Structures are given as C-alpha cells and as structure tokens.
Amino acid sequence: MGRYILRRLLQMIPVFIGTTLIIFLMVYALPGDPVRALFGDKAPDAATLAALRHQYGLDLPLWHQYWNYLSGIFKGDLGTSYSQQPVASILGAAIPVTIRLALVAFVIEMVFGVLFGVISGLRRGKLADSVLLFVTLIVIAIPTFVIGYVFQVVFGNNLGWVTPTVNDSYNITQLILPGIVLGLVSLAYVSRLTRTSVVENVRADYMRTAVAKGLPRRRIVGVHLMRNSLIPVITFLGTDLGALMGGAIVTEGIFNIQGVGNVLYKAINQADGPLVVGTVTFLVIVYLVASLIVDLLYAVLDPRIRYA
C-alpha cells in the first residue's frame, strides 16, 4: 500500500510537468503582447517596455521562464498577475468560495443521487423507476446555463425564495441554489449509475445468501447490497468532486460567485498569462489529488483490488 502510494505520487510528477508546460506554452503562443497591452492605446517608449519585460522576466528564454515559474510554485509563489496582484492571493480569495460551492453541490448530488438511484434500482420497471430514468435523461440533455438561468428567474426573480445573484460568496445559504444548479447534472448521473449498480447486484448470489441467513431486509439492503453497489458510485463521486472544483465557470458566471471559475474566465478574457497558468496549475493539482484519493478509496472499498 505504501509503495503503491509512493509510485502514484511519482507518477504525478510527469503529469504535473506535462500539463503545466502545455498550458504555459499555449498562453505564450496567444496573439498580442501583454506588456504593450498594459498601456492601452498609448505607445510606451522602448526603454520602459524593456524595463517592464525585464521586471516580469519576459526577456529570458522560454525554458528559463518556465523554470522560474516551476521553481516559484514550490516556494508558494504562483507569480504576479498583470493586474499587479500576486496570483496566490487572488486564488486564495477565490478557493474558499469554490470549495463552499463545490461542497454544497457535492452533498446534494451524493445524498439525492444515491437515494433516488437505490429506490429506482430496487423498483426496477415500476413507475418510480421509469420517472427517474425519464427525468434524469432530460436533466442530462439540458445544458447547465439553461437550467441555471431558468432557476435564477423562477426561484430568484419570480418566487423570490432566494436572491437572484449571490452578493456574499462566503454565505452558504446563498450558495444553495447555485449548488443545486451545479450539481444537478452529476446528480442525474449518480442516480443512473447507482440504479444500474443496484439492479446488477440485487440479483447476485450473495444477496440470496443474505436472505437465506435470515437477515432483516434493511440489513440486506443497507449492508450487503450497498457495500457492493456503491463502489462505482463512489469512484464517480470522487472524480466529480475534482470536476466541481474547477468546472463551475458557467454557474459562477450566472450567479456572480467570486470563485475559481470566475477568476479563470476573467483571466482568459484579459489574456492574463500568469493568472491563467496559476489557476490551471491549481486545478491540475486538485484533479491529481482527487484521482489519487479515488484510487485509494477504491481499494479500500473493494478488497479484490490489489496494488500490484
């Protein structure tokens, strides 16, 4: 187990270097000169330009710039955005917001997704099952920005249950509606995945054994069925937590939430290279850690998985 974790951590190094390098090169290849852009319409003199280039290290060869960037990361320095703020402090303000939003969405999709999936799986072919399959299909088919705007108008503007946009991104109660919007598609996937898994396992031989042992039904379902059925679901949920942390660009935009997705959206629009690279680096790390945790969790849940 220890060796396995070590090997997984070592495997993360090339992935980390590869992704950051690609992003770094892509931002470098963007058209336009960011230093000139700082001056807007005015034409700066060559000496000022050169001084600024030197200040940002943009006069160095590309490999040197990348090296400076990588070594900065390990000192906790993600560079300085072109808006003169340290990238680390911009992300530092956005990450807690995104974590809150992601957790709200995660709890909603986990609790309701598994609940609906189990009910539906145990009543395969009945009305509740058909309704779930139909509704989840619709939810999966509708893009998030449509659901987001509809919910915003209906629950925010028309019914007035919540504020249409979030004015305090740290306030969890304001994040509930955006959380539902963010988690809805995953909720549909979790329901369907749970349902399929329950249907598959409910006819398994060990379920027959559990009945033959004279166990009460809640134990047969709650222990024997769940421990097996939830293995693929938990794997999905783990990966999805990583996706929720970074994939909230649309939702954060609709509800004006000052999270990581928002930061990334603005940075791309403003061609703010250091900020884009810094944010993406953060997201890469989140994904890597999430997938490592999922793999480890998988082995805990299913003892047949061996670390070879």
Partner 1 sequence: MSTTDTTAVGQGNTTPSGTSLLEVDDLHVEFKTRDGIVRAVNGVSYSVDSGETLAVLGESGSGKSVTAQAVMGILDMPPARIPSGEIRYRGQNLLTMSNEARRKVRGAKIAMIFQDALSSLNPVLTVGYQLSEMFRVHRGMSRKEAKARAVDLMDRVRIPAAKERVNDYPHQFSGGMRQRIMIAMALALEPDLIIADEPTTALDVTVQAQVMDLLADLQKEFHMGLILITHDLGVVADVADKIAVMYAGRIVETAPVHELYKNPAHPYTKGLLQSIPRLDQKGQELYAIKGLPPNLLNIPEGCAFNPRCPMAQEVCRHELPPLHEVTDDSGRPIAGRGSACHFWKETLHG
Name which position in 3, 138, 304, 308 contacts partner 1 (CB under 8 A): 304
Q: Which residue from 288, 202, 287 is spatially nearest to 247, judged by alpha carbons? A: 287
Q: Which two tokens stand for residue 172?
A: 């969890």
126 sits near partner 1 (criterion: CB under 8 A): no
Name which position in 127, 159, 216, 308 contacts partner 1 (CB under 8 A): 216
Distance CA 183, CA 240 (A): 10
212 sits near partner 1 (criterion: CB under 8 A): yes
Name which position in 51, 211, 222, 307 contacts partner 1 (CB under 8 A): 211
Name the segment binding partner 1 (CB under 8 A); options: 116-124, 187-195, 218-226, 261-269: 218-226
Q: Please, what is the minimum distance in Å from the beta carbon of residue 157 to partner 1?
A: 48
231 sits near partner 1 (criterion: CB under 8 A): yes
Under rule CB under 8 A, which residues in 190-209 are in contact with partner 1? 204-206, 208-209
CB nearer to partner 1: pick between 107 and 211: 211
Using CB atoms within 10 A of its CB, is residue 251 exposed (0-12), middle (13-18) or buried (19+)?
buried
* Cα distances (angstroms) measured from residue 89 to each of 41, 55, 99, 258: 29, 20, 16, 13
CB nearer to partner 1: pick between 52 and 231: 231
Residues with Cβ within 8 Å of residue 36, at least 6 apart in sequence: 44, 49
Binding-site string for partner 1 from residue 242 to residue 281, where x marks contact by CB under 8 A and - marks none: ----------------------------------------
Distance CA 288, CA 284 (A): 6
CB nearer to partner 1: pick between 12 and 220: 220
CB nearer to partner 1: pick between 161 and 307: 307
* Cα distances (angstroms) measured from residue 115 to each of 122, 176, 179, 239: 11, 19, 18, 19
CB nearer to partner 1: pick between 97 and 210: 210
Q: Which residue from 235, 247, 133 is spatially nearest to 191, judged by alpha carbons? A: 133
Contact 140, 189 (CB under 8 A): yes
CB nearer to partner 1: pick between 20 and 197: 197
CB nearer to partner 1: pick between 73 and 225: 225
297 sits near partner 1 (criterion: CB under 8 A): no
Q: Which two tokens stand for residue 121?
A: 């799986």
Q: What are phi and psi of 67, to 5 degrees?
A: -60, -45
Contact 186, 104 (CB under 8 A): no
Positions touching partner 1 (CB under 8 A) are: 204-206, 208-216, 219, 223-224, 227-228, 231, 301-304
